[in-house]
Amino acid sequence: MELPNHSPVNFIFPNDHEITWSLLIVIYPYITGLIAGAFVVSALYKVFKIKEFKCIEDFALVAAFCFGLFAALPLLAHLGQPQRALNIFFTPHASSAMSIFGYVYGSYMILLIIELWLVYRPYFILKVNATEGLEQRLWWLLTLGVTIYNPDSAKLDNKLEVFLAGIGIPWACALHGYVGFIFGSVKARAWWATPLQPLIFLLSAIVSGMAILLIMYTFIKWRQGARYDFVMIKKYATILWAVFILDFVLEILEVIFAAYEKGHHWSLIGPLLKGPLFETYVIGQLLILSTIPFFLLGYAALVDVKEKSLLYLANIGSFLLTLQVLLMRYNVVIGGQMVAKSERGFVKFHWDFFSGEGVLVCVAIFVMPFITYYVISQFIPIFEEEEDEITKPVERQARRFRRSLRENR
């Protein structure tokens, strides 16, 4: 195996025999990326007026909130003293990248909660007036004590939703671009230190967020026995394909530039890609998980295929892209630490399944947002047809009430 800088032996320092940032730090940027991708989808209708996405705007917003609740959990599980995590808010430090990230993440979650409250405020008010007892008190708390909803309130809420979605897009981009910045600013790691890292992380985040939302949408509709919106799926696959092309091109350009420059970084990156990362990066990420979805989504976007074929093509392509981005996170986080600090060898990564930072813990954390989404979906209508089924009886009651007023006059 070729070693960095043509080292005759695999020399590493005694304190550098294991990889410090393990699988939890792989899951951390992955879940954070899902937030950004999901929020961008939710804003496509509100901000960019892409009417095909009206049916999933609320779904994407709720999904972004669920992912956001657990984005920092991998970091907390990785910390030796997780109870001290809030210190970054109480003792800010402008030179600390993680300290600033705490404010970016916290403020973004506040924005997300406010927008969700505005979207579902009419439903909260509806439930207050339709329930009694303890349940009514719980819904009353969600309304913040305002139980009257009129046309003027609806207009103001709609304007606020559009405004928050507008500022939320750059905020979501900053959230995950900042994760890429944290890695890209580490000059000691040749595989990380590139100014393209924030942009690559951001585009891959949108790709993974969009891909996993489509899989969730298909599964939910299948479980409900409801009809799929194939017009939306066609448009969705087209946009996902376009964003993935940009992401893939940037990733390749980064490697090509380093190879063409043939500087010190390439003396470390070249042997890394030919050695420990050859299977996961070259074969897995580039050849299998990038090439196949490129053709599948491209065919679904450019060719007029049947509805069933479109569903299969879009979902298989999306599933492969979720794996591609996850493998990209692994190659960046774990692969970047494989080059020994001596720059004369490679550090091996040892897989753990049942340890505190093993595969089982990562899977448990990754599943939590989906469980949270399921719980939330039991209390509020997320898709348009669900909302219609709930609000139609109330609308009929309102019409009967207005009719009785006219008769009394």
**Domains, the chain, with CATH or none:** 4-408 (1.20.1630.10)
pTM surpassing 0.85? Answer: yes
Place of tokens 């924030």: 198
Contacts of 314 (CB under 8 A, 6+ apart): 214, 233, 236, 237, 240, 296, 297, 300
Place of tokens 């990209």: 328
Tell me the residue type at 380. I
The b-or-e profile of 379-402 (16+ CB within 10 A means b, else e) is ebbbbeebbeeeeeeeeeeeeeee
Angle of helix 230-261 relative to helix 197-224, nearest 10 degrees?
160
* Residues, the chain: 409
pLDDT of residue 375: 95
pLDDT tens, per residue, the chain with 409 residues: 678 877 777 787 777 777 888 899 999 999 998 998 898 998 888 888 888 898 899 999 999 999 999 998 998 888 877 777 777 778 877 777 777 778 888 888 999 999 999 999 889 988 888 888 898 899 999 888 888 877 777 888 888 888 998 888 888 888 878 788 888 777 778 788 888 888 888 899 999 999 999 999 999 999 988 899 999 999 999 999 999 999 999 999 988 988 888 888 888 888 889 889 999 999 999 999 999 999 999 999 999 999 899 999 999 999 999 999 999 999 999 988 888 888 788 888 888 888 888 899 999 999 999 999 999 999 999 886 554 444 444 444 444 444 444 444 4
Place of tokens 């993440």: 105
**Which residue from 36, 54, 67 is spatially nearest to 236, judged by alpha carbons?**
54
